[in-house]
């Protein structure tokens, strides 16, 4: 059994660019990657929001109402529903004067168990060291 | 020799990042490496056939066809392509279309992965 | 002149590059990044050149922009696409495109 770990690092805000959303949808695709792998092999994805990327996590986004497509917030919730490890940089949130109360933290209303983890940048660095490959968005 | 997976989400013509990805793929093939190129987002434009060559615009259809003959494996994100009106019947011959898990599957056994995001 | 300016982007001052602290780092200047290798602002070279990382600039992207590879800062090694492939496979384990 072999595992490849990928780190998706989102460093830009969304909407003007679809990249943050694509980071999430690609990471979520780890749910079905097994069709390309041998039995018991797996690809695991961690997602980290840093810099302006933390702005993707602001809650109550109204993309669906205003632009008729799913919000980045809803993709974060989907990632949590899929049990992905989602990290948000604590220092960068604080730089924007934000705290956990300003961001999406869980997908409880959809039955999800995983929470977003607000962590020091040091933890994100640790994740970047541990994964096999990095993908910056 | 090893395997390189390149993911590129940059626009065809609108950004030379996609040209960079194609040139890098070519250089890696020349060195004997296996190369997968995944295009998603605006990068799916690369999967369109009948691109016209103009002096004022970068043109990748011919270089991509030549590299595919040398073994470059080009796959486009089907959802991103369809959202943009790119269908099976206007896809460049040789370019495959799959869902996003294909990219992850490609990285599984890649020795190196270079992800070039979009604009 | 009466000018309405649409500001469509937001950029914080924190630079991802500055926050990366691997045990070994190579900075490969490509696309518009090659300007770091030769352009000076108010007489000052790019702060990227002060990095302790190994610095490289892609020859094709320098030439495309009219920059003579012979004129890049001496701290920067000019490389080809083939060299970049070798660097990726032989010198570094992971990549980040910023």
Q: What integer pLDDT is reported at residue C6 of this predicted model?
A: 66
Q: Identify the CATH class of A3-136.
A: alpha beta
**DSSP H or E segment with residue A75:** helix A72-81
Sort residue C85 into left (φ over 0), alpha (ψ -120 to 50) or beta: alpha
How much is the pTM? 0.93
Comparing alpha-carbon positions, the chain B residue that sits nearest to A19 is B118
Q: How far is C50 from chain B (nearest CA, A)?
A: 25
Sort residue A65 into left (φ over 0), alpha (ψ -120 to 50) or beta: alpha
Domain boundaries, chain C: 23-91
- The answer to whether residue C13 scores a pLDDT higher than 70 is no
Q: Could you tell me if B1 and B19 are in contact, meaning their C-beta atoms sit under 8 angstroms apart?
A: no
Domain boundaries, chain B: 3-116
- Nearest CB among A51, A125, A136 relative to C21 is that of A125
| Architecture category of domain C23-91 in CATH | 3-Layer(aba) Sandwich (3.40)
pLDDT (average), residues C31-46: 92
Q: What integer pLDDT is reported at residue B96 of this predicted model?
A: 98
- The answer to whether residue C1 scores a pLDDT higher than 80 is no
Do the Cβ atoms of B17 and C84 come within 8 Å?
no
Domain boundaries, chain A: 3-136
Q: What integer pLDDT is reported at residue B119 of this predicted model?
A: 81
Q: Which residues of chain B have pLDDT under 50?
A: none
Subunits in contact with chain A (3 or more CB pairs closer than 8 Å): B, C
Per-residue pLDDT band at C5 (split at 50, 70, 90): confident
Q: What integer pLDDT is reported at residue A11 of this predicted model?
A: 94
CA end-to-end distance (rounded Å), chain A: 29
DSSP letters spanning chain B:
--EEEEEE-PPTTT-THHHHHHHHHHHHHHTT-EEEEEE-GGGGGGGBS-PPP-TTS---HHHHHHHHHTT-EEEEEHHHHHHTT--GGGBPTT-EEE-THHHHHHHHT-SEEEEE---
- Nearest CB among A4, A19, A137 relative to B107 is that of A4
> What's the complex ipTM?
0.94
Q: What integer pLDDT is reported at residue C15 of this predicted model?
A: 84
Q: What integer pLDDT is reported at residue C12 of this predicted model?
A: 61
Do the Cβ atoms of A16 and C8 come within 8 Å?
yes
The pLDDT tens digits along chain A (137 residues) read 999 999 999 999 999 899 999 999 999 999 999 999 999 999 999 999 999 999 999 999 999 999 899 999 999 999 999 999 999 999 999 999 999 999 999 999 999 999 999 999 999 999 999 999 999 99
Determine what percent of chain C is predicted with pLDDT higher than 70: 93
| Architecture category of domain B3-116 in CATH | 3-Layer(aba) Sandwich (3.40)
- The answer to whether residue C9 scores a pLDDT higher than 80 is no
């Amino acid at each position: 059994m072999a595992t490849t770990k990928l780190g998706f690092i989102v460093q830009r805000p969304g909407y003007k660019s679809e990249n943050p959303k694509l980071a999430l949808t690609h990471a979520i695709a780890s749910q079905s990657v097994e069709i390309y792998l041998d039995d018991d092999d797996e690809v695991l994805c961690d997602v980290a929001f840093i810099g302006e990327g933390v702005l993707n996590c602001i809650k109550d986004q109204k993309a669906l109402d205003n632009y008729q497509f799913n919000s980045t917030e809803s993709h974060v919730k989907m990632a949590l529903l899929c049990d992905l490890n989602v990290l948000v940089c604590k220092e960068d949130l604080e730089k924007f004067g934000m705290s956990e109360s300003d961001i999406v933290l869980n997908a409880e209303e959809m039955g999800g168990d995983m929470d977003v983890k607000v962590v020091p940048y040091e933890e994100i660095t640790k994740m970047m060291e541990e994964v096999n490959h990095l993908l910056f968005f | 020799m090893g395997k390189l997976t390149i993911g590129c989400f940059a626009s065809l013509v609108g950004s030379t990042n996609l040209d960079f990805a194609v040139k890098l793929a070519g250089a890696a093939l020349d060195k004997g490496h296996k190369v997968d190129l995944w295009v998603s987002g605006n990068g799916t434009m690369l999967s369109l056939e009948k691109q016209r060559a103009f002096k004022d615009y970068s043109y990748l259809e011919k270089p991509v066809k030549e590299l595919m003959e040398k073994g470059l494996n080009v796959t486009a994100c089907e959802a991103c392509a369809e959202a943009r009106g790119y269908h099976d019947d206007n896809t460049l011959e040789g370019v495959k279309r799959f869902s996003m898990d294909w990219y992850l599957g490609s990285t599984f056994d890649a020795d190196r992965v270079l992800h070039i995001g979009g604009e | 002149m009466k000018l309405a300016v649409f500001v469509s982007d937001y950029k914080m001052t924190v630079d991802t590059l500055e926050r990366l602290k691997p045990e070994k780092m190579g900075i490969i200047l490509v696309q518009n990044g090659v300007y770091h290798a030769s352009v000076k602002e108010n007489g000052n070279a790019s702060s990227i050149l002060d990095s302790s990382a190994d610095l490289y600039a892609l020859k094709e992207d320098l030439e495309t922009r009219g920059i003579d590879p012979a004129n890049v800062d001496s701290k920067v090694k000019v490389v080809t696409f083939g060299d970049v492939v070798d660097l990726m496979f032989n010198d570094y384990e992971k990549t980040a495109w910023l």
